[in-house]
Amino acid sequence: MSFKYTTLVLFNLTTLCNAANILGIITTASYSHQVVYINLWRELSLRGHNVTVMTTDPVKDPKLVNLTELDLHWLYKRVANISKIAERATIWNFQQEVIGLLLPSSEEVLSYSPVQELIHNKHQRSFDVVLVEFMTPEFLAFAELYKCPKIVISSLDVFTHIHRAMGNPSHPNLRPEIGSVFSRESSTFGQRVINTLHSWYLSYFHAFKNYPARKKLIEKYFNLTVSVEDLLSDVDALFVAVYPELQRAKAHGSTTVTIGDLRPKVNSYYLCYLQDLKEFLDSAKDGFIYFSLGSNVKSNELGSEIFKTIFEAIKEVPFKVLWKYEGDDLPGKPDSIKTIKWAPQQNVLAHPNIKVFVTQGGLQSLEEGIYHEVPFVVIPFFADQMQNANLMKTKGIARVVERKPSIKKEDLMGSILEVARNPKYKQAVKKLKELILDTPMTGLEKAVWWTEYVIRHKGTKHLRNLAADMPFYEYYFLDVIVFFVLLSVTVLYVFIILGKLFYKIILCRILNNTPLIRKKLE
Ligand SMILES: *[C@@H]1O[C@H](CO)[C@@H](O)[C@H](O)[C@H]1NC(C)=O
Ligand SMILES: *[C@@H]1O[C@H](CO)[C@@H](O)[C@H](O)[C@H]1NC(C)=O
Ligand SMILES: *[C@@H]1O[C@H](CO)[C@@H](O)[C@H](O)[C@H]1NC(C)=O
Ligand SMILES: *[C@@H]1O[C@H](CO)[C@@H](O)[C@H](O)[C@H]1NC(C)=O
């Protein structure tokens, strides 16, 4: 069945879509962002499209002759202190801090000479579609320049205002903002009030601070007067790397496509090339714990208190521990712990001896763990990680260890032991994986199909979400509500007037005619 479907899809694509020129722009200097898209570029180029991408992590694969990568690796210097941002992030400053990092990056990219050439040589080149990551919507101006459709792509769920621009419901309690610590699963009345305020505050921030700054970049570098709001509301497709089975099903228009994870999955075979690591993991007969806080949070840059607590806890667990630790030495490290600066994560997760994955709760780690059926202990740090942690807890696949106000050793140890020993976590991960994989098309197939669909039809105006063009007051029935309120007030008013008249005219006349009162009046 699934085989038939795949051939059908391939047939459609090869017959209806000629080789196109595709421009992809992902300037976020973060490995976890870039890896998600690499496979889309690869796949599109293998299908004969001429793909040009701006990326901070080029794959430089000589076999991909139709893929041209513009290397922006130097942008990593801009995010050198991201661990510190994680440390001081609150729901009120998270998006501002990240955007504060990305704005000067964008300016640097736009003044980079190969990019300048793309801007100024528009008469010698053409593009059939432009794909841009959601955090840097200013690059959508390339689509204006080349008069082609635009796709926004994301490695996590996007900012709420982007859903709003697409006409998708952007209710603050169904879609808490990125950086919010609350999720639908756990929100109390007080949290819903905060979520709503947070959402309003961010609407203000984007409309009056963020977008105007990006509009200036567009004016300066593209000589265009288009606003970011207009660019976003004119997007032809939005690819979000979420799974409804995991992140909950939410309503959205036809051109918002959930693509999940685009990466191919691997087994533990590759470990044969890393003898040292393989021996350590093979010898863990009672199982091992894999500890990694992802590519953004560096274990050796953690505050000393939290670092000490983590070290103390994993020293004492009765399992071997593989720790992704970026520092050089770790005094007092027992033999049961092995540190590694960079781990071939999927291969480690695929190892049969693994018991628990201790993670910061980044989406890519989460997806890899689920694929390899490894239950989690989550220590969320920032961005979407608090919400991911809540989801994982609700799905029964993880225990969450709070980092604020302070991380507790007993809490971390207890959670690791519980998840390692109680089979219910592993069973829940297995079940979730089954649900996620039971789908007619993989995320990559969907993303490729939709990209080519957008190219074939020169956009998706025929699928435009009705809600995207509806004024705010109409969408929320504000005019209708005001009408009914006024009507009720009027009717009430009329009743009161009539009541008073009734009292004055009729009641008084009756009373006036009663002998007792007449006597009194006389
Ligand atoms: C490159 O693109 C051409 C068509 O434009 C296609 O025939 C060829 O298979 C592609 N090669 C690779 C390695 O992607
Ligand atoms: C493919 O894209 C590259 C880089 O943008 C460009 O140099 C090349 O001329 C393009 N090839 C074709 C056949 O359009
Ligand atoms: C990162 O922090 C160091 C030390 O606090 C500082 O010297 C450096 O300028 C910072 N880098 C960036 C890109 O902000
Ligand atoms: C910018 O665009 C305007 C009109 O669209 C044009 O008159 C002007 O020469 C352009 N400026 C530059 C620097 O290209």
Q: Which residues of the chain have pLDDT under 70?
A: 1-17, 83, 86-87, 181-186, 262, 264, 267, 300-301, 514-522
pLDDT in tens, 92-110: 887 788 888 889 999 999 9
pLDDT attached to residue 7:
41
Q: How far is the CA of 69 from the centre of ligand 3 (A)?
A: 29
Which residue is closest in CA terms to ligand 2's atom 5? Answer: 52
pLDDT attached to residue 40:
94
The structure tokens listed for 479 are: 């005019």
Element (H, E) at 521: helix 515-521
The structure tokens listed for 49 are: 């499209």
Cβ neighbors of 301 (< 8 A, separation 6 or more) are 83, 84, 326
To test the ligand 2 pocket, which listed residue (25, 121, 125, 130) has its Cβ within 8 A of the most ligand atoms?
A: 125
Coil, helix or strand at residue 304: helix
- Could you identify the atom of ligand 1 that is nearest to the CA of residue 19? 5
Q: Is the sign of the CA dihedral 156, 161, 162, 168 positive or negative? A: positive
What CATH number labels 3-261+442-470? 3.40.50.2000
pLDDT attached to residue 108:
94
pLDDT attached to residue 8:
43
Q: How far is the CA of 41 from the centre of ligand 2 (A)?
A: 15
pLDDT attached to residue 377:
96
Q: Which of 221, 204, 24, 246 is nearest to 113 (CA)?
A: 221
CB 261 within 8 A of CB 325: no
Q: Is the sign of the CA dihedral 52, 54, 59, 62 positive or negative? A: positive
Q: Is the sign of the CA dihedral 209, 211, 214, 216 positive or negative? A: negative
The structure tokens listed for 32 are: 């976890």
Domain 270-437 has CATH 3.40.50.2000: yes
Residue with tokens 């794959």: 59
Helices 423-437, 363-371: inter-axial angle, 10-degree rounding: 100
- Identify the bridge partners of residue 130 per DSSP, sorted by sequence position: 23, 150
Q: How far is the CA of 42 from the centre of ligand 1 (A)?
A: 11
Q: Rounded to two decimals, what is the model's pTM?
A: 0.84
